[in-house]
C-alpha cells in the first residue's frame, strides 16, 4: 500500500475542486464514493482513498526531513505552519510503475489548492511546486522517478567524502543503490544517481555484480554486496 500526506495550512479543502481538476487533466474512468471529509475511488482496479485530517502530523521524522532537506531550503518553515493534512492511500496496486503513475496523477491534482504547503512521502518531503513540475512529465510520456525513489545523503559537508543511498527501489522489485564515500562533486554525484534510478525503472533493469554503466571511454563497474548504510543487498556505485 502506498501512503502520501499532503500538508495544509488550514482545515479548508475542496474535494469538488479536486474532482473537477482531476477529470479535466487526466481523462480516466473512475467511480468516486464521497463523504464530507473523505472520498474513495476505483481506477483500473486500483483503490484510492483520501481523508482530510483536521490536525497536523506530529512526527519526529517529518521535522528531521524538513531540517535536512537539501533540495527545499524553506521546508522547515513551511512544515512548521501546517495545521491539517490529507492522507491518501492506494491499495490493490498491481504493476508498480502503472500504480505509481496513477498515484502521482492523483497527488498532482490534489496539490492545486492554496492551502497546500508540502507533500510528505516518507522519508521524502517535497515543495508542492517541485512535485507539480516533476509530475507534469507524465503528460510527456516520461516517468517522474525523482518523486518515487528517495535519495539520502550522508556527511556531504565533510572533506573525507560523502555517501548516498536510495529508499524506494525495492517498491519496483529492485535492489537499492549506494554510493560509498566519494569525493566527487556533490551535485554531479546526485544527478548521476538520479539518472541511474530513472534508467533502471524505465528499462526494468535490476543490475548485477560486474555490470558496467557509463560511456565507452569512461565506464563504472557496479558491485553487489551487503549494504553499508542500509540493510539488505545493495548495488554499489564507485565514483
List, in order, residues 6 or more apart from 162 with CB less than 8 Å away: 153, 154, 155, 156, 181, 182, 186, 189
Q: Which residue has the cell 495545521?
A: 83
Give dist(CA 192, CA 69) in Å, integer. Answer: 19
Residue 224 backbone phi and psi in degrees, to 5: -120, 125
Distance CA 53, CA 175 (A): 34
Q: Where are the beta strands (DSSP E) in the chain?
A: 2-8, 31-34, 38-43, 46-53, 84-91, 116-121, 124-126, 150-154, 162-167, 176-182, 212-215, 218-226, 233-237
Task: Return the closest-CA partner of residue 123 out of 1, 5, 10.
Answer: 5
Q: Where do we find the cell 535490476?
A: 206
Cis bond before residue 29 (omega within 30° of 0):
no
Bridge pairing between strands 31-34 and 38-43: antiparallel
pLDDT by residue for the chain (239 residues), tens only, comes to 889 999 999 999 999 999 999 989 998 888 889 888 999 999 988 999 999 999 999 888 888 888 888 789 889 998 998 999 999 999 987 899 999 999 999 999 999 999 999 999 988 899 999 999 999 999 999 999 999 999 988 765 555 677 889 999 999 999 999 998 777 778 888 888 999 999 999 999 989 998 888 766 777 889 999 988 888 899 998 87
Per-residue confidence (pLDDT) for residue 28, from 0 to 100: 87
- Please give the distance of CA 5 from its chain centroid, rounded to a whole number: 12
* Residue ranges per structural domain of the chain: 2-139, 150-237
pTM above 0.85, yes or no: yes
Q: Which cell numbers hold the place of 98?
A: 502503472
Nearest to 98 by CA among 37, 154, 43, 55: 43
* 3-class state of residue 15 by DSSP: helix
Rounded CA separation 159/203 (Å): 36
pLDDT number for residue 56 = 94
Amino acid at each position: 500500500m502506498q501512503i502520501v500526506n499532503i500538508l495544509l495550512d488550514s482545515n479548508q479543502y475542496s474535494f469538488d475542486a479536486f474532482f473537477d481538476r482531476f477529470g479535466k487533466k487526466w481523462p480516466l474512468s473512475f467511480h468516486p464514493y464521497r463523504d464530507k471529509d473523505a472520498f474513495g475511488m476505483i481506477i483500473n482496479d486500483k483503490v484510492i482513498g483520501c481523508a482530510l485530517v483536521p490536525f497536523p502530523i506530529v512526527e519526529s521524522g517529518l521535522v528531521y526531513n524538513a531540517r535536512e532537506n537539501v533540495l527545499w531550503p524553506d521546508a522547515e518553515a513551511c512544515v512548521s505552519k501546517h495545521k491539517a493534512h490529507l492522507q491518501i492511500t492506494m491499495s490493490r496496486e498491481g504493476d508498480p510503475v502503472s500504480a505509481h503513475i496513477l498515484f502521482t496523477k492523483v497527488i498532482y491534482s490534489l496539490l492545486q489548492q492554496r492551502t497546500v504547503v508540502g507533500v510528505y512521502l516518507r522519508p521524502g518531503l517535497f515543495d508542492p511546486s517541485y512535485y507539480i513540475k516533476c509530475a507534469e512529465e507524465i503528460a510527456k510520456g516520461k516517468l517522474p522517478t525523482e518523486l518515487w525513489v528517495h535519495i539520502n545523503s550522508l556527511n556531504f559537508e565533510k572533506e573525507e567524502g560523502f555517501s548516498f543511498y536510495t529508499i524506494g527501489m525495492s517498491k519496483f522489485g529492485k535492489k537499492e543503490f549506494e554510493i560509498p564515500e566519494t569525493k566527487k562533486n556533490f551535485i554531479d554525484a546526485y544527478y548521476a544517481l538520479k539518472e541511474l534510478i530513472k534508467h533502471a525503472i524505465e528499462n526494468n533493469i535490476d543490475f548485477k555484480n560486474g555490470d558496467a554503466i557509463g560511456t565507452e571511454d569512461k565506464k563504472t563497474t557496479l558491485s553487489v554486496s551487503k549494504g553499508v548504510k542500509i540493510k539488505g543487498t545493495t548495488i554499489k556505485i564507485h565514483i
